[in-house]
Structure 1
């Protein structure tokens, strides 16, 4: 079971992995032939790469700055960033390569990212 003190380490690891995979996806989006993408998919993939890169960096920094996270809002915010990034970017990548929309996966992930950033803001604002 993950404890509140283990979560920042998980966030650092996942953030670094997110940045590494965003770098790989960026290379793929830049170098794959147009036939590898759905219509408009290359631009979508670049957007997902940008979002994944920023969220991965943020998650890494969050993990570095919060050594022992006892505030529920900060815990929820960090976990939400991770899940929201996976859902949003995964859904956009899926659509970019297949042309099929993955139901509500990307919008759910995007909404979760927004709520997570709001939870982090509130957690920092009211932190003792």
Structure 2
């Protein structure tokens, strides 16, 4: 099985989570309503947690290549992009229709964690 970019992507998205968190704390804090500021913070929090998850999947995949981990990693990446991305855009623009796609990202994240858990269970 070839090397997958999950560690690199996870590190990059962790970096972006810090950038977006700082941007939210300093640049847009005064211009967002408390509701949209909370939405923004949810996006950056979830992005960081799932970037760490993606790194973990990458490390485990390097040591024990698995189709389950590969699929989990791609679901986690897609979920993070859709979930956090839609919340960032929603909070900054107020385009509420984006709230309709956020759950798609959430479901992708749930699938990723379930696949990760199943891989762990199956490996024992």
TM-score between the two structures when normalised by the length of structure 1: 0.85
Q: Distance in 1 between matches of 2:27 and 2:65?
A: 44
> Is the helix fraction higher in 1 or 2?
2
Q: Distance in 2 between matches of 1:5 and 1:51?
A: 28
Partner of 2:109: 113
Contact map agreement 1:52 1:85 (CA 8 A) in 2: yes
Q: CA RMSD in A?
A: 1.8
> After TM superposition, what 4+ stretches of structure 1 lie above 6 angstroms from structure 2?
none
Which segment is superposed worse, 38-47 or 50-59? Answer: 38-47
Residues 1:64 and 2:59 are matched in the alignment: yes
Contact map agreement 2:43 2:88 (CA 8 A) in 1: yes
- The runs of 5 or more residues in structure 2 that have no matched partner are none
Partner of 2:86: 91
Secondary structure, counterpart of 2:62 in structure 1: coil
* Structure 1 residue 65, shift from structure 2 partner: 2.5
Deviations 1:18-77 (A, max 9, x none): 110000000011012422x36621111111111001111111122122216543222211
Aligned length: 122
Residues 1:104 and 2:104 are matched in the alignment: no
